[in-house]
């Protein structure tokens, strides 16, 4: 086992597609056209592996459900650092896996093979700004009563409209953090629905609650009656 192999992606953000993944591997013996290189991607790539791949100097195969990439050299790779550049690849859908590693196996037909474990450094979560008008994500906040008037023992209520947030089928929860001058949420009056689903008999609704471990966060989770995810829900 060797630990000085490396991995890099042409983009550091999660859920980016059509990218180049580059592996550098310090092989200790030649790799011939009768040998194979197996790369097992970590579990945060589950469900986002492409169906095909391409790599100069190799015939490239993807086994998407197993997260495998198999490379057959088209010419002999000699001892030393070899660089494998794989195109048409996708980044994971969350930043870092529990297992931590890519596993690269050099399988030789007539010699001892090699195994390399490459630490997968954390990818960068996608971050959106609600105040940057050049970003398609936006938020509007509409008070439901006159902002300068407050009724005794009556909670202040507002309507948040957040665009382009629920954009991926693997999202399981959304969190809204209260601004600093709001000390708590009351989820009794919370109604969170997906406006893009108004073509149903009623808009699909989230289950709305206050996070028990962080009470400044309002937590929206998928309700049991939600239908199959649609990209129009963003």
- Which carries the bigger pLDDT value, residue 136 or residue 88? 88
Q: How far is CA 18 from CA 10, 46, 152, 165, in A?
A: 10, 16, 56, 22
β-sheet with 217-222: strand ranges across: 173-177, 217-222, 206-210
114 pLDDT tier (thresholds 50, 70, 90) = very high
Secondary structure element (H or E) that encloses residue 45, with its range: none
Neighbour tally for 191: CB within 10 Å: 10
With vertex at residue 141, the alpha carbon angle to CA 138 and CA 144, rounded to the nearest 5 degrees, is 155
39 pLDDT tier (thresholds 50, 70, 90) = very high
In the chain, where the domains are located:
6-119, 139-233
207 pLDDT tier (thresholds 50, 70, 90) = confident
The model's pLDDT over 134-160, given as tens digits with 9 standing for 90+, comes to 444 556 666 555 555 444 455 566 677
Q: What is the mean pLDDT of residues 158-164?
A: 71
Distance CA 54, CA 76 (A): 18
* Global model pTM greater than 0.75: no
The contacts of residue 143 (CB under 8 Å, 6+ apart) are 156, 157, 158
Looking at the domain 6-119, which fold is it?
Immunoglobulin-like (2.60.40)
Distance CA 214, CA 173 (A): 14
The model's pLDDT over 171-193, given as tens digits with 9 standing for 90+, comes to 777 888 777 777 777 767 677 77
The predicted structure's pLDDT at residue 54: 97
- Which carries the bigger pLDDT value, residue 208 or residue 187? 208
């Amino acid at each position: 086992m060797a630990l000085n192999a490396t991995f890099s992606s042409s983009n550091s953000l999660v859920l980016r597609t059509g990218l180049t993944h580059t592996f550098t591997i310090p092989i200790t013996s030649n790799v011939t056209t009768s040998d194979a290189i197996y790369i097992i991607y970590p579990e945060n790539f589950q469900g986002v592996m492409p169906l095909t791949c391409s790599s100069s100097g190799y015939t490239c195969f993807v086994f998407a459900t197993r997260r495998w990439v198999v490379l057959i050299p088209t010419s002999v790779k000699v001892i030393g650092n070899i660089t494998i550049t794989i195109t048409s690849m996708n980044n994971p859908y969350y930043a870092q896996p529990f297992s931590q590693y890519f596993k690269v196996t050099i399988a030789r037909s007539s010699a001892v093979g090699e195994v390399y474990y490459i630490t997968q450094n954390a990818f960068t979560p996608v971050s959106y700004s609600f105040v940057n008008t050049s970003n398609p994500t936006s938020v509007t906040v509409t008070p439901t009563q006159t902002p300068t008037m407050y009724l005794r023992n009556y909670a202040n209520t507002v309507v948040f409209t957040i665009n382009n947030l629920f954009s991926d089928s693997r999202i399981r929860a959304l969190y809204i953090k209260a601004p600093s001058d709001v000390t708590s949420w009351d989820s009794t009056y919370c109604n969170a629905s997906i406006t893009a689903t108004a073509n149903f008999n009623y808009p699909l609704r989230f289950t709305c609650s206050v996070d028990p471990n962080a009470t400044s966060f309002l937590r929206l989770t998928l309700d049991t009656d939600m239908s199959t995810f649609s990209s129009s829900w963003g």
